[in-house]
Structure 1
Amino acid sequence: MRAVLVLALAALAPAAAAQSTLFDSHVHLWDGEKSLQAYEAQLKAQKLGPADFAGMWFGGPNQTLAGDTAAIRAGNDGILALAARHPRMTAVVTVHPYDGQAALDELARVVKQGARILKIHPHTQKFEADDPRVLVLVQRAGELGVIVLIDNANILPGDSEKMFNLALHAPGTKIIFAHMGGMNFRFWNTLKAARTAEGLLGDNIYFDVSAIVALVADSPVEQEFVWTMRNVGIDHILLGSDYPQFSLEQNADALNRLGLDEQELAKVRYQNANALLDNVD
């Protein structure tokens, strides 16, 4: 009997481990080490255990505008140094597209230091996503093997449409659209139709569902959101928290309430992020 019990527990262990494995693709560490310690303390308090995560330094109180090249360089150095001390963390750097060659030079510099994700934010950095300088930067990121994370909360008019066009013109760059269009998530169902057009669309569009999944779970539009997730492709969706505005627990719990099957949940919780990062090594 004891042998049977041991075997049963051994069989359950991998499933339990898989359920607790998380990758948080959207963490703001505005105060460096202090923010990271607070984030990890929150995970521990919420019994989520240690999680792998992508941490960025800018946003919120840390704004980066065109011309702030010294501040951008210092912030990038800080987040890269923080990641070097914390193996579970993937550093997210930034530049400003309107800084032209200076932005391209800074991107090349941080890539040499191990940067793998570049975050840009049209609203807080005050640029237009359809500006040619943005396309130049995004294309160069792809050439350097860098993933571009770009805010897509649909704060600005035409946000998602501009993002879609950007991805069309930079097929060699893996792009994560953060927040999956916000409450305009319905737009992204167009991908199901776009993929039927031969030669139109690369396989380069990904989404994180940070914050938005916590907003739509248990709402009147929940089933539309799940429908959209499946139309854009479960393989292309990442879990995120948007910490400190939202917790990982809020987002993970909301994801669990959407009615996805266990295979789909495992992909969104960790597997997709892991595969995406492996593909840009």
Structure 2
Amino acid sequence: MSLDLETLVAIDVHVHAERNADEPQDPVTGEVLAAAARYFGGSPAQPTAQEVADYYRERRMAAVIFTIDDEAGMGRKRLGNDEVLEAAAANPDVLIPFASVDPHKGKLAVREARELIARGARGFKFHPNTQAFWPNDREHYPLYEVIAEAGLIALFHSGTTGIGAGMPGGGGVRLKYSNPMCVDDVAADFPGLDIILAHPSFPWQDEALAIAVHKPNVYIDLSGWAPKYFPENLIQYTNSRLKHKMLFGSDYPLITPDRWLRDFAQLAIKDEVRPLVLKENAARLLGISAST
């Protein structure tokens, strides 16, 4: 069974698989999660890729799913792309697989990207904070070239992050890497590469909006924040100039799609814009048609 666009309630473009099946949690990840639970006052689920599929199928939603390879930046063992790709192959009605490679791996990252694309990856997730890299460092451009040549999507975390929040020194995580203006350079240098800026980009929201208005290949996903906290300028642009470029994302399991949708329903979003954000914009970007 493949994706049935007509029956889907929504397409969530930002979903994490947080552990591999039958493997213990990496101790560094455990420390980060414990700090996040203390900081945010809750302990989110840690789903495998298959558990994500089951969860989203119950809700009649599709999920863009990925892990993050940040071994160099965080010193934790990466979760495998293998499980994401295998789960997506087994659950094509709900899962859209993105892959993750650490940009610091250089030529090996390029090689891995080619292999992952051949195996069905539909895009790549980058987290400049935890991967500790400048997105506009030309050292990483060969990796973007591979993604662009394949006609796939690069999704960049932008703005602050909950990873390391509350830990001494923020766990060593530096926020500076996720200023969306760094991604503006990538968008200019790779005009054929579709780019998603993930999250309301606090404290650089105006910069993110300006980039998405200026660059035809840049989109914004609205994940990682409960919509009731969205700034007014983000709501204004969602209703107007960027109505075709805003994407529903939850950041599950940190925020559940149920919580996100409940909050979004309370926002002053125009009736004709809601279906664009929840499904139609993502379907167009991902190349999903009614017959997919």
TM-score, normalised relative to structure 1: 0.76
Greater gyration radius: 1
Q: In 2, Cα distance between the equivalents of 1:127 and 1:121?
A: 8
Q: Say whether residues 1:101 and 2:107 are aligned partners.
A: yes
Q: Say whether residues 1:170 and 2:183 are aligned partners.
A: no
1:144: how far off? Answer: 1.2
- Larger RCO: 1 or 2 (CA < 8 Å, sep 6+): 2
- More displaced stretch, 161-170 vs 111-120: 161-170
Report what 1:188 is aligned to. 208
Q: Secondary structure at the match of 1:250?
A: helix
Report what 2:67 is aligned to. 57
Aligned partner letter, 1:64: E
Aligned partner letter, 1:78: E
Q: In 2, Cα distance between the equivalents of 1:245 and 1:94?
A: 19
Report what 2:143 is aligned to. 137
Aligned partner letter, 1:205: V
Q: For the aligned residues, what is the CA RMSD?
A: 3.0
Q: In 1, Cα distance between the equivalents of 2:128 and 2:189?
A: 18
Select 2:229's aligned residue among 216, 233, 238. Answer: 216
Unaligned segments of structure 2, at least 5 residues: 22-46, 162-174
Q: In 2, Cα distance between the equivalents of 1:143 and 1:41?
A: 33
Q: Say whether residues 1:30 and 2:18 are aligned partners.
A: yes
Aligned partner letter, 2:103: P
Unaligned segments of structure 1, at least 5 residues: 1-16, 196-200
Q: Does structure 2 retain, via aligned residues, the 8 Å contact 1:186–1:228?
A: no
Aligned partner letter, 1:210: S
Select 1:206's aligned residue among 213, 219, 224. Answer: 219
1:245: how far off? Answer: 0.9
The ranges of structure 1 where at least 4 consecutive aligned residues each deviate by more than 4 angstroms after the TM superposition are 17-20, 36-44
Alignment length, in residue pairs? 245
Alignment of 1:227-242 (within 5 A): 227-230=236-239, 233-242=242-251
Q: Does structure 1 retain, via aligned residues, the 8 Å contact 2:50–2:87?
A: no
Change (3 A) 1:135 1:230: farther
Report what 1:259 is aligned to. 268
Select 1:277's aligned residue among 267, 270, 286. Answer: 286
For residues 180-206 of structure 1, give each alpha carbon's deviation from its aligned partner in whole angstroms, at most 9, with x where no partner exists.
3134312233247x64xxxxx4x2101
Change (3 A) 1:206 1:235: same
For residues 10-44 of structure 1, give each alpha carbon's deviation from its aligned partner in whole angstroms, at most 9, with x where no partner exists.
xxxxxxx9897111111111124653465466668
Q: In 1, Cα distance between the equivalents of 2:126 and 2:241?
A: 22
Change (3 A) 1:276 1:125: same
Q: Does structure 1 retain, via aligned residues, the 8 Å contact 2:49–2:84?
A: no
Aligned partner letter, 2:187: A
Select 2:156's aligned residue among 150, 156, 169. Answer: 150
Q: In 1, Cα distance between the equivalents of 2:87 and 2:9?
A: 22
